[in-house]
Amino acid sequence: MFNKFGVLGSVMALALTTTAPAFAGTAEVIHWWTSGGEATALKVLVDAYQKTGNTWKDNPVAGGEAARMVARTRILGGDPPTSMQWQLGAPLVALAEEGQLNDIDAVAKDWDKVLPKVIADNAKFEGKYVSAPIDIHGHTWLWGNQAVLDDAGVAMPKSWAELIASADKLRAKGYIPLALGGQSWQEIFVFETVLLEVGGRDFLTKVTYDLDDTALRSPEMLEAFKLFAKVRDLVDPGSPGRDWNITGGMLISGKAAYMIMGDWLKGEFVAAGKVPGKDIACEVFPAGKGTLVFGTDSFAMTAVKDEGQREAQLALASTIMDPVVQREFSLRKGSIPPRLDIDRTGFDDCAQKAMAEADAGHLFLVPDNVTDATGIGALVDQMTTFLHSSQTPEEGVTAMADAIAATR
Amino acid sequence: MRRFFQRHVSQIALSPSLALIAIFLYGFIGYTVAVSTTTSKAFPRFDNFVGLEQYWRLFHTPRWHVAFTNMFLFGGLFLLVTISLGLIIAILIDQRIRAESFFRSIVMYPMAMSFVVTGIIWQWLLNPTLGIEVMVHQLGFESFRLDWLTNPNTVIWALVIAAFWQGCGLVMALFLAGLRGIDEDIWKAAAVDGIPAWRVYVFIVIPMLAPVFLTVVVLLSLSIVRAFDLVVALTNGGPGVSSDLPSVFMFDMAFRRTNLGLSAASAVVMLGTVLAILIPYLYAETRERA
């Protein structure tokens, strides 16, 4: 009797103090957005979510790997968070196959119409949405310090051929042609642009998605390694092991002319008072190949049973996909929104270019989210080994193809 | 009953820790071996037995060859450099010099640093665009080059130097304690016979330090096998994968590449290597004393 009154009392108290919808719940969210710019962007999402009457229980874990490890442990322990940041594609499917995800189709009726097909396809399991995407980050961008280019009398290159042709002019003026942080995750962006230059989107697909043995031993691959070998001469001796943001500083300060890096680099430009698209030129690289390799931050929805949590989860999914939230979030994070139908005023020139690529269907999901991790890992290992050694292109091709073959 | 307890008190006292060791050491070694015979990816699964296939795959992975070779290269050089220089420093300090504790502290201090801090310090010092090389250039020696850290052929020396800098203090302290334990009469007798000091060291004192050598080798070998944080902080395996060690490879396969099967196989090979080196050595040492 007492219990009944207790419940009744609290329900009444709730009804009196809030005007929230019937199922106000709490969503616990694990994410890895802990740095300044990321936290500002996240606040947009959190504020919008709180306005729906639900409560956001923040659970930030620094570092993507660590955050995913925490989420995985919680899931294995039978106490999943309501939602967590998780990659699209293969990693998401792996989780769904274990029966660890809820579908959110109840709130995702029109998502197919507004999302790029590649994102829609990779956010689903067995035809149903299990994850809500909040941003798109392009990886294969070429950035150029405009003042340096002007000083050396060089136009922003649209291909590797043009970039390499401009290197001597830049060196003559004392500039480092290419700022490169010599860690494999940064170098792979460069390698991807090289593959695109040589064989276009089809070749990139065959090599990084299919790990196709014929493509890996083809004449195009040899050509790609010959081009990639030239990168060794474009960088400075301090490159190996250097962090991406320090490397970005070389571009911003005008020590180096170019850098190939994802568009999160824009945050560094803005912090240094430089305008992307003006002070720092940008190009989806190589131009005209119809391909922008990208990654997406998205929130996977776990298999929570509780009715309140379920409602909180659905509310979270629709908040993430809300046009205003998507717009405001990306403006702060330096990304572009996955929704193609939002108001695009206020985005910088580089973001406009990225959105045009997305409209044209040029997005290419990062191979990490598609290909077997051991196979693509072997490719990355051989790519970085080649760049830091004196292997000939012929040796590089064989070593890479053999290493990938051994993972099968 | 009481006599039973009295007679077996040591066994009873030891049994909880023995049980823990049985589960958490040998139990999990067995578990790792079992995982290494499966194609487990992100989660351990035992419904996909493949025998020794992961070992075949492991030894066809070029990066593993680099890591495995590096363990011997790094281990050999580190043992050689640290033991020889540690012994020499101990002998020098043992000469009843003035301000002995001052010199002892200098050598001992780096030991207080973790490998992570050690790695970062040496990463800065050896960085060719902001470390020692730049400093020497500013002094006017423009042709000076110190690119050990960024050259795949020499990067292992950068690891050895950092590890030596950190580990030297301990080795020196152990040898110094050993030297202090040597009977003064031996020195007096040698002096009476007119034997030069270096011969006393080489033929009499150093052989007497054999137990200290055993301790040092075991301690250093352990730090070689678990040298993970040093590599991660100093080079992160780079340039390329040239400074990879088996422990780094194993971690990468387990957590970044989500390939537990292959990772477990590399762990088992590491364990096998350590046992192959240590067991004969320990066996010989214990037999001699018994």
> pLDDT by residue (tens digit) across A83-119?
999 999 999 998 898 899 999 999 999 999 999 999 9
Assess if residue B12 is contained within a domain: no
- Rounded mean pLDDT for each run of 10 residues along chain B, 290 residues in total: 82 90 93 93 83 93 93 94 95 88 90 89 88 90 87 92 93 94 89 90 91 88 86 89 93 86 94 84 72
Best mutation target, A388, A398, A407, to test chain B (most B CBs within 10 A): A388
Output the pLDDT for position A18.
Answer: 42
Residue A115: closest CA among A349, A368, A337: A337
Angstrom distance (rounded) from CA B209 to CA B202: 11
Angstrom distance (rounded) from CA A257 to CA A274: 15
Output the pLDDT for position A183.
Answer: 92
Output the pLDDT for position B290.
Answer: 56
Instruction: Report, as an integer, the average pLDDT of A51-62.
Output: 93
- Nearest residue of B to residue A187, measured between CA atoms: B240
What is the pLDDT confidence band of residue A62, given thresholds at 50, 70 and 90?
confident
Q: Is the pTM of this model over 0.90?
A: no
The alpha-carbon gap from B46 to the nearest alpha carbon of chain A, in Å, equals 15
Q: How many domains are contained in chain B?
A: 2
Angstrom distance (rounded) from CA B129 to CA B127: 6
Assess if residue B167 is contained within a domain: yes
Residue B245: closest CA among B109, B123, B91, B71: B71
- Whichever domain contains B114, its CATH number is 1.10.3720.10
- The share of chain A scoring above pLDDT 90, in percent, equals 80
Task: Determine whether the interchain pair B62/A373 forms a contact, defined as Cβ–Cβ distance below 8 Å.
Answer: no
The alpha-carbon gap from A137 to the nearest alpha carbon of chain B, in Å, equals 21
Instruction: Report, as an integer, the average pLDDT of A38-56.
Output: 93
A399 neighbourhood in chain B, CB within 8 Å: 62
Q: Is A78 left (phi over 0), alpha (psi -120 to 50) or beta?
A: left
Assess if residue B200 is contained within a domain: yes
The beta-carbon neighbor of A373 closest among B57, B61, B259 is B259
Angstrom distance (rounded) from CA A362 to CA A68: 29
The beta-carbon neighbor of B150 closest among A183, A237, A386 is A237
From residue A264, how far is each of A132, A249, A276, B34, B124 by CA, in Å? 20, 13, 11, 42, 26
Output the pLDDT for position A9.
Answer: 44
Indicate if B158 and B235 belong to the same structural domain. yes
Is A183 at the interface with chain B, CB within 8 A? Answer: yes
Assess if residue B4 is contained within a domain: no
CA dihedral A192, A197, A203, A206 (to 10 degrees): -10
Phi, psi angles (nearest 5°) of residue A27: -110, 120
| The length of chain A, given as a count of residues | 408
In this structure, the number of other CB atoms found within 10 A of the CB of residue B45 comes to 13
Angstrom distance (rounded) from CA A179 to CA A254: 10
Q: Please say if the pLDDT value at position A36 is more than 80.
A: no
CB A292 within 8 A of CB A354: yes
Is A373 at the interface with chain B, CB within 8 A? Answer: yes
Domain range for B31 is: 27-60+259-290
- Match 């046992």 to its residue by tokens: B275
Indicate if B241 and B281 belong to the same structural domain. no
> Where does residue A286 rank: exposed (0-12), middle (13-18), buried (19+ CB within 10 A)?
buried
Instruction: Report, as an integer, the average pLDDT of A28-37.
Output: 89
- Nearest residue of A to residue B255, measured between CA atoms: A65
Task: Determine whether the interchain pair B242/A377 forms a contact, defined as Cβ–Cβ distance below 8 Å.
Answer: no
Phi, psi angles (nearest 5°) of residue A64: -60, -45
Angstrom distance (rounded) from CA B86 to CA B110: 13
Indicate if B74 and B55 belong to the same structural domain. no
Non-local (6+) Cβ contacts of A331 within 8 A are: A346, A347
Q: Which CATH superfamily is domain A141-293+365-406 in?
A: Periplasmic binding protein-like II (3.40.190.10)
In this structure, the number of other CB atoms found within 10 A of the CB of residue B41 comes to 18
Task: Determine whether the interchain pair B256/A373 forms a contact, defined as Cβ–Cβ distance below 8 Å.
Answer: yes
b/e sequence A140-157, b meaning 16+ C-beta within 10 Å: bbbbbbbebbebbebebb
Best mutation target, B59, B60, B241, to test chain A (most A CBs within 10 A): B241
Q: Please say if the pLDDT value at position A242 is more than 80.
A: yes
A379-391 tens-digit pLDDT? 999 999 999 999 9
B259 neighbourhood in chain A, CB within 8 Å: 373-374, 377
Angstrom distance (rounded) from CA B72 to CA B274: 11
Angstrom distance (rounded) from CA B102 to CA B108: 10
Output DSSP code: residue B228. Answer: T
Indicate if B216 and B284 belong to the same structural domain. no
Domain with CATH 3.40.190.10 in chain A: 21-135+296-351, 141-293+365-406
Indicate if B101 and B239 belong to the same structural domain. yes
Indicate if B265 and B242 belong to the same structural domain. no
Indicate if B98 and B173 belong to the same structural domain. yes
The beta-carbon neighbor of B61 closest among A76, A386, A406 is A406
* Beta strands, E only, chain B: none
- Match 């999402």 to its residue by tokens: A45
Within 309-338 of A, beta carbons closer than 8 Å to B belong to none
Indicate if B128 and B268 belong to the same structural domain. no
Non-local (6+) Cβ contacts of A163 within 8 A are: A142, A157, A177, A178, A258
How would you write A114-149 as a 3-class SS string? HCCHHHHHHCEECCEECEEEEEEEECCEEEEEHHHH
Output the pLDDT for position B289.
Answer: 62
Q: Can you read off the two tokens belonging to residue B159? A: 């690891």
The alpha-carbon gap from B56 to the nearest alpha carbon of chain A, in Å, equals 9
- Nearest residue of A to residue B149, measured between CA atoms: A240
Output the pLDDT for position A59.
Answer: 95
Phi, psi angles (nearest 5°) of residue B240: 65, -125
Angstrom distance (rounded) from CA A118 to CA A123: 9
The beta-carbon neighbor of A388 closest among B123, B240, B256 is B240
The chain-wide mean pLDDT, for chain A, equals 91
Q: Please say if the pLDDT value at position A16 is more than 50.
A: no
Output DSSP code: residue A179. Answer: E
- Match 């776990």 to its residue by tokens: A302
Q: Can you read off the two tokens belonging to residue A400? A: 């890479």
Task: Report how many helices (DSSP H) and strands (DSSP E) chain B contains, helices first.
Answer: 15, 0
Task: Determine whether the interchain pair A388/B242 forms a contact, defined as Cβ–Cβ distance below 8 Å.
Answer: yes
- Please state which of the four CATH numbers 3.40.50.2300, 3.40.190.10, 3.40.50.1820, 3.30.70.3270 is assigned to the domain occupying A21-135+296-351: 3.40.190.10
Within 94-113 of A, beta carbons closer than 8 Å to B belong to 94, 98
What is the pLDDT confidence band of residue A147, given thresholds at 50, 70 and 90?
very high
Best mutation target, A76, A255, A385, A398, to test chain B (most B CBs within 10 A): A385
Give bridge partners of residue A58 from the DSSP assignment. Answer: A29
Task: Determine whether the interchain pair B257/A72 forms a contact, defined as Cβ–Cβ distance below 8 Å.
Answer: no
Output the pLDDT for position A19.
Answer: 42
Strands A128-129 and A124-125: antiparallel
A165-211 tens-digit pLDDT? 999 999 999 999 999 999 999 999 999 999 999 999 999 999 999 99
Q: Can you read off the two tokens belonging to residue B269? A: 């090979």
The beta-carbon neighbor of A388 closest among B61, B152, B236 is B152
Indicate if B206 and B290 belong to the same structural domain. no
Instruction: Report, as an integer, the average pLDDT of A141-155.
Output: 96
From residue B37, how far is each of A403, B55, B168, B261, B264 by CA, in Å? 21, 9, 40, 7, 9
Indicate if B84 and B211 belong to the same structural domain. yes
Task: Determine whether the interchain pair A374/B259 forms a contact, defined as Cβ–Cβ distance below 8 Å.
Answer: yes
Angstrom distance (rounded) from CA B76 to CA B89: 20
Task: Report how many helices (DSSP H) and strands (DSSP E) chain A contains, helices first.
Answer: 18, 12
Output the pLDDT for position B225.
Answer: 81
Indicate if B231 and B192 belong to the same structural domain. yes
Task: Determine whether the interchain pair A183/B238 forms a contact, defined as Cβ–Cβ distance below 8 Å.
Answer: yes
Output the pLDDT for position A23.
Answer: 57
Residue B281: closest CA among B79, B116, B23, B31: B79
Output the pLDDT for position A4.
Answer: 43
Residue A103: closest CA among A132, A129, A134: A129
Task: Determine whether the interchain pair A65/B255 forms a contact, defined as Cβ–Cβ distance below 8 Å.
Answer: yes
- Nearest residue of A to residue B261, measured between CA atoms: A374
Residue with the bigger pLDDT between A306 and A13: it is A306
Q: Can you read off the two tokens belonging to residue A73? A: 């442990």
What is the pLDDT confidence band of residue A373, given thresholds at 50, 70 and 90?
confident
The alpha-carbon gap from B13 to the nearest alpha carbon of chain A, in Å, equals 34
B42 neighbourhood in chain A, CB within 8 Å: 72, 94
> Where does residue A113 rank: exposed (0-12), middle (13-18), buried (19+ CB within 10 A)?
exposed
- Match 């396969």 to its residue by tokens: B253
Q: Can you read off the two tokens belonging to residue B4? A: 């039973």
